[in-house]
Amino acid sequence: MAISLSNFLLPSILLLATGLLSEAATVTYDFDVSWVHANPDGAFVRPVIGINGQWPIPTITATKGDRVIVNVKNSLGNETTSLHFHGLFQNGTTHMDGPASVTQCGIPPGSSFTYDFMVEQPGTYWYHSHTRGQYPDGLRGPLIIHDPDSPYKDQYDEEIILTFEDWYHDMMNNLLAKFISLSNPTGAEPVPQSALWNSTQNISIPVQPGKTYMFRMVNMAAFSAPYVWFEGHTMRVVEVDGIYTEPAEANMLYMTAAQRYSVLITMNNDTDSNFAFVASMDQDLFDQVPEGLNPNVTGWLVYDDKKELPAPAFVDEFDPFDDYTLVPQDGMSLLDEVDYSITFDMKMDNLGDGANYAFFNDITYVRPKVPTLYTALTTGSSATNPAVYGVNTNSFVLNKNDVVEIILNNDDPGKHPFHLHGHEFQVAFRSDEEAGAYVNNVTMPQVPMRRDTVLVRPNGNIVLRFRANNPGIWLFHCHIEWHVASGLVATMVEAPLDLQQNLKVPEDHYQACHDGNIPIEGNAAGNTVDLLDLTGANVSPDPLPAGFTTKGIVALVFSCLSALLGVAVIAWYGAAPIGKAQKGSS
C-alpha cells in the first residue's frame, strides 16, 4: 500500500483534532479490466474494453477531500494498460498519474496495480487509459468530485452526467497501424463511424418543468469535437475543466476532445412538448468525410413521455460560445511575471519510413525505455539535465514555483486541443486562425480563463501560463489520440530534486515493470553508469532522404497502388531503412 496506515491516520487525527475534518472518506474501486462486446451505435458489434464485465464502464465519484483508491487488474490478456485521471493535479502523487512509460510502466496482462490519491479539486473530470491509443476502444469514463461548498449548489435541483464519444467500428490497434504507415503519407486520421451520447444514441432524459439541472458534459472522444445545443433552452456555463466560472450564457458550445463543461439549464414551465439536444461533430477535423457519415447524435429532454420526440431542426451555421471569454469565479489574475518561457512550433511531416508524424520543434515523441519519472528518481543531480530523459521525450526541466509560459505556434492547418497534466493553465492569449506565430504585442485578459485542455486554431497560436507548484512529471500533448500516437507530446519535468526527496513509489508499481521486463533505473536508455550516454535509447525514424517530399511520397504511393513502379519502391526501401531503429544518439 502506498500510504501506510499510520502515515495516513496521523494527519487525519490532527485534522480531526483541529475540527477541520468533516467527512473525508476513502472511496475504493476494484477494477478488473477485460474485453467484452458492445454495439453502442446499433450498427456493429465489436470487442470493447470493459470493467468487471461491464461496458460502459462505471463513473468514479468522490467528494472533495476524499482519498480515492483504484485497484486495477489487467485481464485483457493481450494488451498492457494504465489509467489516467484527467484533470486531477495528483499533487504529491505524480506516480499515480497514469501515462505508461512516463510515470509508471504499462500494467502487463495478468498484473495488478493500485492508484491511490487524494482529491482536492471539485468538478467534472474523466478517467481513461493512457497507454498507446487504447481509450477509444472503450476504456474511458466520467470522474466526478462533488463539492459541499459549491458556489452554485443552491442554483440547481439535480445533476445529470452527459458524456460524448466518437465511435469506430474497427479496433485502435488496426487503425493505428494504418494511420502511421507509408500508405498514409498525408497523415489522414481515421474518421469515426458515429457519434454517441452517453455511449449510446437516442437517449431520453426525463425532466420536470421549472426545475434547473446541472449537466456535467464530458467529451471523451478520440478525435472529434462536437457543436452542442439544446433546442428551446439556454445553457449557463458555471464550470470548465474543474474551474468554476462566472455564469455565462451560451446557446451552443464547442467541446474539443477531453474538455468538460458544467451548464445549468432551467426547464420550461409547461409540458407541451419534448426537446431535442444535439451533438454535431465538426467535420473540419476530417480530411475526407466518408459518404453516408452521420456526424450527429440526438437525445431528448422529455417533459411528457406520451408526446413525440421531435427530430432536431437543421442548423445552417455553427456559431459556438467562445470559451476564451470565460472568467474564473475565484478572480485569479494573470500571472504577469514569467520566469521561464517555452516556445513550441508544431507541425506535421514525414520521416524516412514514409509515415506522417507530428512535431514540437522538429522532435516527435518516442517513449523512453525507462519511464521518465524513474529516470528523475535515479539520476541524482543529473535529473535537472533534460538530456538524461532522451531527445525524443522532448523534456523541459522546470524550477519549483517558477511561472512557466508555453507559447504554441500551430504551423498546421488543423485544430488541436492541447492538454497539460498536473496543472490547470491560464489561457493568456489565443489568436484567431491564420494569425501565424505569436507576436508579443497583444493585450492579455486581466483575469484569464483557466482550464486543462484548450483549442489552438488552424495556423494560429496560444499562450498558456501556470505556476510550477506541483513537483512531478507532466505530459503536455494534443488530446487527439491519433496525434498522441504520431508524437505530439512533450514532457515537463517539474522540480525533479524535490521528487527525489519526497516521493515514495510503492512496490506494486515496480512489480509491473518487472513483470513487463522494463528497466526502472538510469537515463532514458537505461544506462545507470554514464548518464549522458544515450546509446540504445528509443529514437524516431530517420528523416526523409534528401530529395523526397510529402508530395513525392503521395505520388510514389499512388504509383505503388497502380503497380507500375515496383523498381522505384525497391529503390525507396533501399534508401531508407524502415522502422524505429534503436541507435545511438549523442
Ligand X SMILES: *[C@@H]1O[C@H](CO)[C@@H](O)[C@H](O)[C@H]1NC(C)=O
Residues binding Cu ion (CB under 5 A): 416, 478, 480, 483
CA dihedral over 108, 113, 118, 124, signed as positive or negative: positive
Q: What distance in Å separates the CA atoms of residue 126 and residue 114, rounded to the nearest whole number?
A: 18
For residue 181, give every residue at least 6 positions away whose Cβ sits within 8 Å of its Cβ, in sequence order, or none: 354, 355
Fill in the per-residue mask, 280 to 299: x = in contact with ligand X (CB under 6 A), - = not in contact.
x-------------xxx---
**Chain residue whose CB lies nearest Cu ion:** 478
Kindly tell me which residue out of 24, 36, 69, 160 binds ligand X, with binding defined by CB under 6 A: 160
Of ligand X, Cu ion, none, which one does residue 53 interact with (CB within 5 to 8 Å by kind)? none
193 belongs to the binding site for ligand X (CB under 6 A): no
Of Cu ion, ligand X, none, which one does residue 6 interact with (CB within 5 to 8 Å by kind)? none
Kindly tell me which residue out of 91, 343, 382, 385 binds ligand X, with binding defined by CB under 6 A: 91
Of ligand X, Cu ion, none, which one does residue 91 interact with (CB within 5 to 8 Å by kind)? ligand X
Question: Which of 370, 268, 252, 372 shows the shortest CA–CA distance to 315?
Answer: 252
For residue 244, give every residue at least 6 positions away whose Cβ sits within 8 Å of its Cβ, in sequence order, or none: 123, 150, 151, 152, 238, 328, 329, 330
Work out how close the CB of 498 gets to Cu ion at its nearest, in angstroms, rounded to a whole number.
31
Work out how close the CB of 462 gets to Cu ion at its nearest, in angstroms, rounded to a whole number.
13
CA 452 from chain center: how many Å? 9
Q: What distance in Å separates the CA atoms of residue 125 and residue 141, rounded to the nearest whole number?
A: 9
Q: Please say which residue, 73 or 352, places its beta carbon nearer to ligand X.
A: 73
438 belongs to the binding site for ligand X (CB under 6 A): no
516: left (phi over 0), alpha (psi -120 to 50) or beta: alpha
562 belongs to the binding site for ligand X (CB under 6 A): no
The 3-state DSSP class for residue 448 equals coil
Q: Please say which residue, 59 or 71, places its beta carbon nearer to ligand X.
A: 59
89 belongs to the binding site for ligand X (CB under 6 A): yes
155 belongs to the binding site for ligand X (CB under 6 A): no
271 belongs to the binding site for ligand X (CB under 6 A): no
Residue type (1 letter), 452: D
Q: What distance in Å separates the CA atoms of residue 434 and residue 172, rounded to the nearest whole number?
A: 32
Q: What distance in Å separates the CA atoms of residue 440 and residue 463, rounded to the nearest whole number?
A: 10
Q: Please say which residue, 143 or 355, places its beta carbon nearer to ligand X.
A: 143
Q: What distance in Å separates the CA atoms of residue 495 and residue 194, rounded to the nearest whole number?
A: 43
Q: Which stretch binds ligand X (CB under 6 A): 155-163, 245-253, 354-362, 576-584?
A: 155-163
231 belongs to the binding site for ligand X (CB under 6 A): no
Per CB under 6 A, contacts with ligand X among 27-46 are 35, 41-42
b (16+ CB within 10 A) / e for 420-432? bbbbbbbbbbbbe
Question: Which of 476, 419, 81, 467 shows the shortest CA–CA distance to 260?
Answer: 419
Kindly tell me which residue out of 315, 444, 565, 578 binds ligand X, with binding defined by CB under 6 A: 315
Q: Please say which residue, 128 or 423, places its beta carbon nearer to ligand X.
A: 423
In sequence order, what DSSP letters do the residues of 353-406 get, joined into one string?
TS-EEEEETTB-----SS-HHHHHHHSGGGGGSGGGG-GGG-EEEE-TT-EEEE
Work out how close the CB of 544 gets to Cu ion at its nearest, in angstroms, rounded to a whole number.
21
Q: Please say which residue, 348 or 468, places its beta carbon nearer to ligand X.
A: 468
Of ligand X, Cu ion, none, which one does residue 478 interact with (CB within 5 to 8 Å by kind)? Cu ion
142, β-bridge pairs: 126
Work out how close the CB of 123 gets to Cu ion at its nearest, in angstroms, rounded to a whole number.
24
C-alpha cell at 343: 516556445
Of ligand X, Cu ion, none, which one does residue 483 interact with (CB within 5 to 8 Å by kind)? Cu ion
Work out how close the CB of 576 gets to ligand X at its nearest, in angstroms, rounded to a whole number.
27
Size of the site for ligand X (CB under 6 A): 36
Work out how close the CB of 219 gets to Cu ion at its nearest, in angstroms, rounded to a whole number.
14
108 belongs to the binding site for ligand X (CB under 6 A): no
Q: Please say which residue, 210 or 584, places its beta carbon nearer to ligand X.
A: 210
Q: Please say which residue, 15 or 171, places its beta carbon nearer to ligand X.
A: 171
501 belongs to the binding site for ligand X (CB under 6 A): no
Residue type (1 letter), 234: T
Please give the backbone phi and psi of residue 133, each rounded to the nearest 5 degrees, phi first. 65, 20
Largest CA distance in the chain: 81
195, β-bridge pairs: 166
Contact residues toward ligand X (CB under 6 A) are 35, 41-42, 47, 56, 59, 78, 89, 91, 142, 160-163, 171, 173, 198, 200-203, 205, 210, 268-269, 280, 294-296, 314-315, 423, 439, 441, 469-470
